[in-house]
Chain A
């Protein structure tokens, strides 16, 4: 009777040259991607970047215009959704409203003719701690409970590959953190391959082993969360995954250890291993929390880059840290996150400050500075402090959104 057996372990997923065109636009453009078996892989990107389309292609809910999809080495490009060894936790949960929670969870098992579906469904519900509501209808559950039922309904089938389509999007922050932990635990326990699609960078970084940042139908960068955060390769990754201060400059010398870059007449060093460009114009970046704020000009030190003086445009206190917006001539508006080691902010708006960071914290991007219009900053010294401040705060808010 059993037409299909449970997957013993997760399977790897391979996308080879996948394209997906919708009338009028290309959602995914020549995508190559390999997800190793048993990993927790996150596909991160803003809405409309093609991440959900990628997931639907893998699930078989959309068919690829070109390319092939392999699950566990088997080509499933031409297979229908119900023939593929994958299950999805939908963003909308898509629980069947006319069935009880138990019947929802047992649905996939019954379709595959797996023995004792009711007992297995109860087991899956116990895993998400919802066995006590098994006889209720989905509409009688809270959002978080529905989400866990959706998860149980997918996991109970032991698919080789589990697809998660922003399943935590509708939950409040606290429940979200709790579900993130639960998901991670379940993934570890059952050893499946998880492909998680999300636009929440924090969620992607805390949960996944590997994160792929997607933009405009292409993967911008792929790697472990720390690697992506500490060494972004493109301006998109640098600003989408956390915040970055980016400066454009001209490479003046490229040594074995450091590449020296001239930014607005100042020599900034970036480790050679952290930039791929060796000549011409380049964009370099540094994370706001790596910056130090000084009220006097720092002494020269070859292991530290320092810029300034600049003027503090805005100070906002957020509990664990304080963020300062500093206008530095030639560098534009620089964001600094400082931990609140003392009580409250150390400087006030209008103060003259210097900024510094250790050479090894800087990174060089692959982008051509000419392609980044946001860097064409006018060091508009004639504008009043208030005007500059207003503009800078607006820009910073924009970047956060």
Chain B
């Protein structure tokens, strides 16, 4: 009888605790949820609504009414498809080049320099060091270095890599160069994080099992660093696809190299065609989401230990 009387209380106690714990967690989450709702969800809804707006009848430039004008999307795709393609093309090229540059760098810092922890930290600081200067200033500095009168351009012309009237600034190569430069640290750090954890005993096991250095790299090192490759390429590709600084004519680009970001900027700030700018932004977001989803699925990161 006594036991029966106690039973519900003891059984109920942990449950009540969980509920209270759940309520505390919820309470602590309120600022985060409020922040996200206010600064992320609301603008997103506003952006979607804006993208369907129609010009006000007899209104001024920049005056729009809420509507469901899906033709906005067809219009911007029709008008800006070269910029859209260029965005993803440049971002892809920059990602691949950044990966080729960053992988050996990250391997050197994370694996080769393992024994010298001081040198390792120093090298990591050097990778991050450019962040201490505004990236606008750094990109402008590159514009100076690569300008038409610079010794570099003269040298390139002298060896006929550039024709007599050709210059580097304003070319797609310059835009890709700028993207690579700006995003190499974003590629290097995640790669470093995954290579730093690489167990060198596995490499020894590889060589013990008749794999030469290259085969060991291909069959052991590379598959084990896939999580780093995936996060590095995402951290590079996503912002690079939306970048509008490097491609802008004020920095390393020209009107011929303008990317999706530049089209959004022009529509929003210059043409005051807010629906078009909004529609372009949503296209960019949707395309990136789909590409990333396919990419993450294909690379099978969820299966990795």
Contacts and interface: CB of A to CB of B under 8 A. Distances in A.
A108 B210 contact: yes
Nearest to A156: B209
A94 B210 contact: no
A339 B86 CA distance: 88
A4 B212 CA distance: 15
B193 interface: no
A96 interface: yes
Interface string B263-287: 0000000000000000000000000
A139 B224 CA distance: 14
Contacts of A137: 305
Interface string B18-35: 000000000000000000
Interface stretch (B143-151, B172-180, B200-208): B200-208
Contacts of A87: 208-209
Interface string B222-256: 01100000000000000000000000000000000
A92 interface: yes
A60 B207 contact: yes
A82 B305 contact: no
B211 A90 contact: no
A139 B212 CA distance: 25
A139 B206 CA distance: 18
A157 interface: yes
Contacts of B206: 82, 96, 107
B215 interface: yes
Contacts of A90: 201, 204-205, 208
Contacts of B211: 82, 107, 111
B112 interface: no
B96 interface: no
Given A97-B224, A98-B224, A139-B305, A82 B207 contact: yes
B63 interface: no
Nearest to B204: A61
Contacts of B48: none
Interface residues of A, number: 25
A59 B304 CA distance: 30
A60 B304 CA distance: 30
Interface string A143-159: 00000000001000100
B210 A82 contact: yes
A94 B224 CA distance: 13
B204 to A, nearest CB: 5
Contact of B219 (A82, A107, A139): A107
Contacts of A97: 202, 224, 305
Contact of B207 (A4, A80, A92, A95): A80
B199 interface: yes
Contact of A96 (B202, B207, B215): B202
A162 to B, nearest CB: 11
A216 interface: no
Contacts of B205: 88, 90, 94-96
B220 interface: yes
B208 A81 contact: yes
Q: Chain B contact residues (Cβ within 8 angstroms of A): what range?
A: 10 to 19
Contacts of A95: 205
Main secondary structure of the interface of B (DSSP, over half): helix
A101 B207 CA distance: 18
Contacts of B210: 4, 82, 108, 111-112, 157
A111 B202 contact: no
Interface string B167-201: 00000000000000000000000000000000101
Contacts of B212: 80, 82
Nearest to A140: B305
A123 to B, nearest CB: 17
A108 B209 contact: yes
A232 B212 CA distance: 44
Interface string B109-142: 0000000000000000000000000000000000
Contacts of A4: 210
B9 to A, nearest CB: 40
Contacts of A112: 210
Most buried by A among B199, B206, B210, B223: B210
A113 to B, nearest CB: 9
Contacts of A107: 206, 209, 211, 219
Contacts of A59: 208
B215 A111 contact: yes
Contacts of B204: 61, 81, 90, 94
A59 B201 CA distance: 13
Interface string A63-94: 00000000000000000111000111010101
Contacts of B202: 94, 96-97
A285 B82 CA distance: 92
Contacts of B208: 59-61, 81-82, 86-88, 90
25 contacts: A59-B208, A61-B204, A61-B207, A61-B208, A81-B204, A87-B208, A87-B209, A88-B205, A90-B201, A90-B205, A92-B199, A92-B201, A94-B199, A94-B201, A94-B204, A95-B205, A96-B205, A96-B220, A98-B304, A107-B209, A108-B210, A111-B210, A111-B211, A137-B305, A157-B209
Interface of B: 199, 201-202, 204-212, 215, 219-220, 223-224, 304-305
Interface of A: 4, 59-61, 80-82, 86-88, 90, 92, 94-98, 107-108, 111-112, 137, 139, 153, 157
Given A82-B210, A94-B201, A97-B224, 14 more contacts: A80-B207, A80-B212, A81-B208, A82-B208, A82-B211, A90-B208, A94-B205, A96-B219, A96-B220, A107-B209, A107-B219, A108-B210, A139-B305, A153-B209
